Structure 1
Amino acid sequence: MSNNIQAAAPAVDEKARAGTNPSVSAFKVPASRLEKLKSLGFSAGEIAEVVAPRRTLDRRKKSPKPLPLDESDRVLRLERIMEHAERVLGTREKANLWLRRPNRALNGAIPMELLKSESGAFHVSEVLGHIEFGMYS
């Protein structure tokens, strides 16, 4: 029985290396989601700063493959934060303005600049949560 387990392990490792592991590919998003980011109010420059360089994104749009996992994660991060900001602040316009202005609760940082990292996005989301529950005005 242990031979079967050992024989199966290389196949799983090969799938993971090839990016065909179903558990990983479930989190990859199509390049068309980049257009959704534009419709949410993110500029091409902002998307390139957070997700990947413009030339890379242009190549990705021409390919039928989904975005790599790291780029997919960044796309989902921008969508998640925008949806949270819109829900808390009431409109997409207010959310877009809020994301681009220095924020006292973030020690003067501009929320959009913090979205380049997951830890920065966590802090932005935390401030939005505080606004949502009346801790900041």
Structure 2
Amino acid sequence: MYEQVAAHGRADYNDMRAMLERGGFVRLESRRDSAHVLFRRGPEMISVPLSKPVNVSYIERVIDIVEEGSYIAEPHDEGSALEERDDPIRALARLYEGTSADADRAVRAGLPSITWGHLVQVGYTPQELAAIVGCSEEAIARKHDRREVLDVAEGDRTMRLVRITGDAIAAFGDPAKAVRWMRKPNRALSGERPIDAVVTEHGLSLVRRAVGVVAYGGVA
């Protein structure tokens, strides 16, 4: 199947990932002379042809996503599969549950800008994201609306927030509590807020240590 899609399908990896993250993705279909991605748009099903030459390794990655089940939803079913796909916690978990090497590869490949949307859904404000990423709110909104891929600097800072937020959610057991903790001045950080500290590598390591204290039953 991989070889068939590689020979006849047409897509760019970043384009494909942007389409997947945009929502409504149902499945990838490979036929003898074509390859298409199926999306749901309201009550309709839309078939999108792959648009640029691709290689086998790229298609393997796409099919891996499909076979994991995170984005699969049968056309007649509006149930749990779609809810899982739209869950921002699940979407972020796909990033923060990997290893540091996985995170680094994802940043260098280009994080999808919809990651910012997931962080806002979890509880952060656009102003907070802009301060962490180092750009204006307008730039964030524009890039998110166009479904552009983040550059390495933007992705690196975004990934720091994603991973520490994942750790905090695991420690507190609740996204709202985790975000509140990120916003509060912290004695372990000399009174600095965790959300402000994560803009540097040193600050991130201190925040991780503080989250670790919480995870093991302490107060930080």
Secondary structure at 2:171 match in 1:
helix
Secondary structure at 2:191 match in 1:
coil
| Distance in structure 2 (CA, Å) of the matches to 1:91 and 1:24 | 26
1:28 is aligned to 110
| Distance in structure 2 (CA, Å) of the matches to 1:43 and 1:53 | 13
| Distance in structure 2 (CA, Å) of the matches to 1:128 and 1:24 | 24
Deviation at 1:53, TM superposition (A): 1.7
User: Would you say 1:48 and 2:130 are equivalent positions?
Assistant: yes
1:73 is aligned to 156
- CA deviations 1:38-90 (Å, max 9, x no partner) are 01111010001111222322332244541101101111111111110010112
2:179 is aligned to 96
- Structure 1's unaligned 5+ residue stretches are 1-22
2:193 is aligned to 110
The TM-score, its normalising length taken from structure 2, stands at 0.47
Using CA pairs below 8 Å that are at least 6 residues apart, which structure has the higher relative contact order?
Answer: 1
| Distance in structure 2 (CA, Å) of the matches to 1:83 and 1:65 | 23
| Distance in structure 1 (CA, Å) of the matches to 2:178 and 2:147 | 32
| Distance in structure 1 (CA, Å) of the matches to 2:107 and 2:157 | 15
For the 8 Å contact 1:37–1:75, the answer to whether it is kept is no
| Distance in structure 2 (CA, Å) of the matches to 1:127 and 1:24 | 26
The TM-score, its normalising length taken from structure 1, stands at 0.73
Deviation at 1:24, TM superposition (A): 7.9
| Distance in structure 1 (CA, Å) of the matches to 2:187 and 2:147 | 43
1:120 is aligned to 203
User: Would you say 1:59 and 2:146 are equivalent positions?
Assistant: no
Structure 1 or 2: more strand by fraction: 2
Cα 1:43/1:25, change in 2 over 3 Å: closer
2:214 is aligned to 131
Secondary structure at 2:110 match in 1:
coil
Structure 1 or 2: more helix by fraction: 1
| Distance in structure 1 (CA, Å) of the matches to 2:147 and 2:188 | 41
Alignment coverage as a number of residue pairs: 116
| Distance in structure 1 (CA, Å) of the matches to 2:184 and 2:106 | 35
Identity %: 29
